[in-house]
Structure 1
Amino acid sequence: MATPTRRLEKFRSAIHEFPRVVSTTQKLLRAAQLLDIPVFATTQLRDKLGETCPELGLDAPDGIQTKAHVDKSAFSMFVPELKKAFYELGEEKREVVVVGIESHICVTQTTLDLLREGHKVYVIADAVSSCNAQEVPVALARLRAEGAVVTTSESFLYECMGDAGIKEFKGVAGIVKEFNKATRENLEALSRPGQPKENDQNVVPSEYAA
């Protein structure tokens, strides 16, 4: 199992329900630590669009340590540097969890690349979004049709554990309980992406716009 993640600080005000996507990603990253799931991350044109948002604590001294944290210009995360680190875990086909932004661009192209390599890909519906909220359901429908598993963070975590008898269960269940209210609110907000809030700015950073 591996978890690629992508969050860019400069998109904070542009992405539909950005704080909710961050919240779900925090939950998944904490559970990944307990379940010993390797984490991979990318930034997109870091010098223009900024670092991964600090709330995730990626590669901080007391935070989540990634197997690779790569800057790129390609929209897919599966660039040569990250791909090299990914296959250093082994050549076997893997189950991969994809979260991040934007659903219809980087999430889609990363997922398609992983599917082409023969991996099973989970796209976490409450951990992806786009500047244009209406893009999200279209992207998720396409990825489901292409063979990805589109699911929720809680469903994925329980599928990943599989059995309440494993030693990690109590810790992961505690994280799920801690995020219970946030998960409910995040799903409610992100499952209706065609109805952005009035205060959603939906302005794409100029460095990223065509």
Structure 2
Amino acid sequence: MSLKDTFFLDSEKAALVVIDVQDKLCQAMDEKMLGKLTKNVGILLESVAELKIPVLFTEQYVKGLGATLAELLEKAAEAPRLEKMTFSCCGIPQFMETLKASGRTQIIITGMETHVCVLQTVIELREAGFTVHLVKDAVMSRDKRNWKVAVEAMTLAGAIPTCTESVLFQLLKVAGTDAFKKLSKLVR
């Protein structure tokens, strides 16, 4: 695999996963950081909708942690929502079946908590042969130290560290298109 195939996202190969951005879990997060996370996940959801890239939401123990934030769900109303009890999303067969059936090999990861569900999912996705792009400004933990350690571990495991704007412009590839004109406004 070439460097470009590893480090550059391709709209024909990519899928977006939003891990456990749920009502009650969000209440435990730093408000300012949560605002940045939801803004960035929202930008990514709008971008992939425009580019026809599949989205998958996961929700950890909905009875206790609530549903995914409504403001995010409304940006991808048709996207599957998978409830889980395992920390890794890969622990529920439907998650892996959905990804494999999509034919997508590049997985864009967002969500929480970075050092628990995100970390375990990324490691298992890498083990399963997926290229993982970890959107550092769209994942969070209650404690910044936990976030930092987890990001480092995922990078060592082969996840590509990235940010919301990099994802957006890699998926767009060129300026001047209708999609570029519409989506570039999201990051101004």
Flag whether TM exceeds 0.5 (same fold).
yes
Q: How does 1:159-170 map to 2 (within 5 A)?
A: 159-170=170-181
Please say if 1:75 is aligned against 2:87.
yes
User: Greater CA radius of gyration, 1 or 2?
Assistant: 1
**Cα distance in 1, alignment partners of residues 25 and 102 from structure 2:** 31
Shift of 1:29: 0.4
Alignment deviations for residues 119-154 of structure 1 (CA, whole Å, 9 cap, x no partner): 111111110111122111111111111100111100
Q: Is 1:2 matched up with 2:3?
A: no
Q: Could you list the runs of 5+ residues in structure 1 that have no partner in the other structure?
A: 178-210
CA spacing shift, 1:3–1:40, aligned 2, 3 Å: same
Structure whose residues are more often helix by fraction: 2
For structure 1, which segment, 7-16 or 140-149, has the greater mean C-alpha deviation from structure 2 after superposition? Answer: 7-16
Q: Matched residue of 2:175: which SS?
A: coil
Match of 2:159 in 1: 148
Residue 145 (structure 2) aligned to one of 134, 151, 157: 134
Q: Secondary structure at the match of 2:58?
A: strand
Which amino acid letter does the alignment assign opposite residue 40 of structure 1?
L
Where in structure 1 do 4 or more consecutive aligned residues deviate above 3 Å? none
How far, CA to CA, are the matches of 1:119 and 1:131 in structure 2?
27
Q: Distance in 1 between matches of 2:179 and 2:130?
A: 25
- Correspondence for 2:5: none
AA in 1 matched with 2:44: L
Q: Give the Cα separation in 2 of the matches to 1:12 and 1:146.
A: 27
Paired with 2:26 and 2:47, the residues of 1 have a C-alpha distance of 24
1:165 Cα shift? 4.8
Question: How many angstroms apart in 2 are the aligned matches of 1:136 and 1:36?
Answer: 30
In structure 2, C-alpha distance between the alignment counterparts of 1:169 and 1:20, rounded to whole Å:
22
**1:25-51: CA deviation from partner (whole Å, max 9, x where unpaired):** 111101111111100011100011110
State the SS of the aligned residue for 2:174: coil
Pair 23,126 (structure 1): closer, same or farther in 2 beyond 3 Å: same
Matched, 1:24 2:36: no
Deviations 1:34-79 (A, max 9, x none): 11110001110001111011111x2x4xx41344211000011122
Change (3 A) 1:40 1:66: farther
CA distance in 2, matches of 1:123, 1:8: 19
- Sequence identity of aligned pairs in percent? 29
Distance in 2 of aligned mates of 1:88 and 1:68: 13
Gaps of 5+ in 2: 1-13
1 CA distance for matches of 2:100 and 2:182? Answer: 29
C-alpha distance in 2 between matches for 1:168 and 1:118: 30
- Provide the alpha-carbon RMSD of the alignment: 1.5
For 2:124, give the aligned amino acid. Answer: D
In the other structure, the counterpart of 1:41 is 57
How far residue 167 of structure 1 moved from its aligned partner, in angstroms, is: 4.2
Comparing 28-37 with 7-16, greater Cα deviation is found at 7-16
Counterpart of 2:9 in structure 1 is none
Confirm whether residue 119 of structure 1 aligns to residue 135 of structure 2. no
Query: Would the aligned equivalents of 1:39 and 1:65 in 2 still touch at CA under 8 Å?
Result: no
